Structure 1
């Protein structure tokens, strides 16, 4: 029997360590209040930095998971754990997202995305960011007084399900694992 059409989104992403959940949630609420946003902050367990949308790899979880599980061990073996440093707030005009963003020097993130693109042939993220909330009001780049340091040592295959506060995790891959 063929797998059903994808009802949800499948992504390769890095997830924050648990000790950052409160800080990210707090930053979302502070940003909402200071900027007069009406958009509701994202659920704490939905904070992530997307590396790639992998929906185009198949028509269901099994086919996507099979392709990801085959390619990712080789993708991650040469990439060492690194830190993402989110040092600014900004808005994306294309989708009204208010995000934590990094400066342009995130070489490790971009190297990882290039490896994912080579291994899976899927579009990858060019802008490391964490969506805090969506709002039609826009803000320009605003530097944070204290950057948020997010250690990246694992990549997850996650499924974003509409109206759920968390991701469904289907696989994880440790950086530098050979």
Structure 2
């Protein structure tokens, strides 16, 4: 197990929360109170499983963000390369997850088996969020979508086996890669040149709300 790492610049950007959390938090079955949870962490801080792009893949995507911003006349700040990721499964707010729950999240993650696979992003679009909130400008994929969905679907059973239950409903999984946020809305459009990355692992991430900063709580290779 790797030691926790913190990635990213301290730029204010709380908007990824709505994409990464999106579902109710996990909880243990009803029983006597468990030991106290982590001593720090705000209730807004989400914890989720995701694939963090490898350094080379992140650099390639970052270069394309510059092109996409220019092509569509976007003004939003690009996501920093070291926090570019594909969300896989949300656990809930950090402050609501006890130390025991976090340990079981890691225990469940260790049981997930899958082989590395490639993902080809071939479209760009906006995820509109209503109100005055800027839209997320995201990449969508065709090749690799099924593999990402299968990996997402593996988390539920794996976590149930270690005693974690879903508290509430969850949103439909739609694989995507967030590039930036912008007021301009982009209809789903094919990329001039698709972007292919390789998914070789996944991580459990504590996102420090409002700082574009990640604390990696654990990382697991795809070696099934």
Question: Fold conserved (TM > 0.5)?
Answer: yes
- Asked if 1:86 corresponds to 2:86, the answer is no
Higher helix proportion: 1
For structure 2, the 5+ residue unaligned runs are 1-34, 160-164
Instruction: Tell me the distance in 2 between the aligned counterparts of 1:62 and 1:101.
Output: 35
Match of 2:107 among 59, 70, 73: 70
SS at match of 1:55: strand
TM-score, with length taken from structure 1: 0.85
User: How many pairs were matched up?
Assistant: 175
For structure 1, the 5+ residue unaligned runs are none
TM-score, with length taken from structure 2: 0.69
- TM-aligned CA deviation for residue 38 of structure 1: 2.1
SS at match of 2:191: strand
CA RMSD of aligned residues (A): 2.4
Within 5 A, what are the aligned runs for 1:139-178?
139-177=186-224
Within 5 A, what are the aligned runs for 1:20-169?
20-55=57-92, 59-60=96-97, 62-74=99-111, 76-77=112-113, 79-94=114-129, 96-103=135-142, 106-120=145-159, 123=170, 126-169=173-216
User: Do the aligned partners of 2:47 and 2:93 also contact (CA within 8 Å) in 1?
Assistant: no
- TM-aligned CA deviation for residue 117 of structure 1: 2.1
Match of 1:10 among 47, 54, 58: 47
- TM-aligned CA deviation for residue 56 of structure 1: 6.0
SS at match of 2:69: helix
- TM-aligned CA deviation for residue 20 of structure 1: 1.7
Task: Say which one has the larger Rg.
Answer: 2
- TM-aligned CA deviation for residue 40 of structure 1: 1.2
- TM-aligned CA deviation for residue 104 of structure 1: 7.3
